[in-house]
Each structure stands twice: as C-alpha cells, then as structure tokens.
Amino acid sequence: MRYLLTALIAMFLASESMAQVYAIPRPSPISTVTQVVGISEVTVKYARPAKNNRKVFGELVPFGKLWRTGANENSTVTLSDEATIGGVKVPAGTYSFFTIPGEKEWTVILNKDNNLSGTTGYKQENDIVRVNVTPVKTGMTERLTIDFDVVTDEYAHLSLMWEETKISLKIEFDTHNNVMKKLQKDVSWSPSYRGAEYLLNKNTDLEKALNYINVSVAINENYWNLRIKARIHAAMNDIKGAKEVLQKALDLGAKMESKPFDYEDMKKLYESWD
C-alpha cells in the first residue's frame, strides 16, 4: 500500500496539472527594458516589487545599505558598446546593478560579478563604477519602475522611480566613433551610403563622407547615393560638381518604376543652385 501511495504521488507531481499549479504569478515580476542610443543598446533586467502600503525608502529599503535595486536575483545592466558613466569608461558587457539609497544622495554601482543572488557575494573590489546622484521627489509610483526618460543619439538618462523618489543616471556612448568602426567592417553600397549621409547630416568630416559615397557609387550607382553625393559637393561649396551629379540622379530617378519620395524636392534643390 505504501509503495502504491508513493507511485501515485510521483505521478501527480509529474503531471501537467501540477506543473500548472506551480506557474503562479511572482510578487515581484521580472521586467526587461531596452533603449537604443544612436546605434548602441542599454538593457536593464530587474524584478519589480510593489509598495503595498509600506514605507519603502528608509524602512523596507534602508538608507545607507547596499540594495539589489529590485527583488529576488540581482538586477543587471547590459551595454552593447563601451559607455561612459560618471566619467568612467565602462566596457561593453553585463553588470550587476546595485544602489545605496540615501535621504540626500544615492550611490549607483555597476559590478563585474553579474551572477549574484541579491547582494550575497557582493565584493566592492569588483565595482567597475560608482556614481553619486541626487534623488528628487516625484509622483507616487506603486511598483519599482526603471526606464529611460531622456534619449539622444549620444546619451540616455536611466531613471529609477519608486514610491515618491526618482534618481537618474546618465549613460553616454561615442556614437560617431561607433558608426565609423562599424562602417569600416561592412563595405557595400548601402552601409557606405548611410555613413556618408550620417556625416553629411552632422556636417562633419565631409572629405570622409565623399570617400564613403564614392565607394557606394562605385559598387552600385543609383538615385539614392547620387543625390547624397550631390549634396556633399554642395556642402563643400562645389556647386558645379553638385549640379552635375544631381542631374544624373534626377535622370535615374525619372526612369524608376516608382518615383522617389523626394524627387520633386531634389528638382527644387537643383533649381536653387542656379
């Protein structure tokens, strides 16, 4: 009888219904937020505890003590490319995300050991960066929220909000350098075209932009790259060269099955160079 009971229990535990019983909601659900900055990415993975009528900072999360910045496992920050945080160069990689909350100042920490259980096993000598930030009072946030509320091509502000407190951390990327490095690895008409367009729109390194667009045109001459080449010539005050190239682009555009979306704009640009 005892063996039969054991067998029945084993079958029950292995059943699909039992597996479903264990698939219950977590009090602090896992969240992942990713932000593109230029051509780089920042990803934060963390658990989101709720306030639940508790006093959070100063009680549930004590001031002056290391916090895993979430619940359950330690939170992590992943950088796709080298970033600058608090004036420190941080290599691409995944880092544990810790904080030390305070009434007037917080310390934000990225630590090389990214596989910790909360704060257990944390060693300060593995910190790659520590940044002091000032908390500000904000509207009530019931569940811990990490997001990006300021984003440009070069930097983003990672914001943490819970209860009535908010902190922000600036994460910077050398987007221009990252674009140039990626272009050098991928030479075809489209990446070279995009690189030239990028430099033209930034109005910087126009000689390099011309080199890139010449590579693009040599691989596959078309309306799109010729119009960029014409604009680069104009930006370099070579209006004669700009008109010659843009006329060729317009001739190609007129033969396309679907007229380019900016064809009329390019015609007006050509006329403005008279």
For residue 15, pLDDT beyond 60 = no
Please report the pLDDT score of residue 73 as a whole number. Answer: 85
Spell 115-151 as b/e; 16+ CB within 10 A means b.
ebebeeebeeebbbbbbebebeeeeebeebebebeee
Q: What are the distances in angstroms from CA 10 to CA 1, 6, 17?
A: 14, 6, 13
Specify burial of residue 53 (Cβ count, 10 A radius: 0-12, 13-18, 19+): exposed
Please report the pLDDT score of residue 21 as a whole number. Answer: 47
- Hey, what domains does the chain have and what are their CATH numbers? 18-174 (no CATH), 186-272 (1.25.40)
> To the nearest whole number, what is the mean pLDDT of the chain?
91
Which stretches does DSSP call E strand in the chain? 30-37, 40-47, 75-79, 83-85, 88-90, 93-100, 106-111, 127-133, 136-151, 155-173
* pLDDT tens digits, one per residue of 94-123: 999 999 999 999 999 999 999 888 888 999
Lowest average pLDDT, out of 32-36, 51-55, 117-121, 219-223, goes to 117-121
* pLDDT tens digits, one per residue of 183-239: 777 667 888 899 999 999 999 999 999 999 998 998 899 999 999 999 999 999 999
The two three-digit tokens of residue 203, written as one number: 């109005």
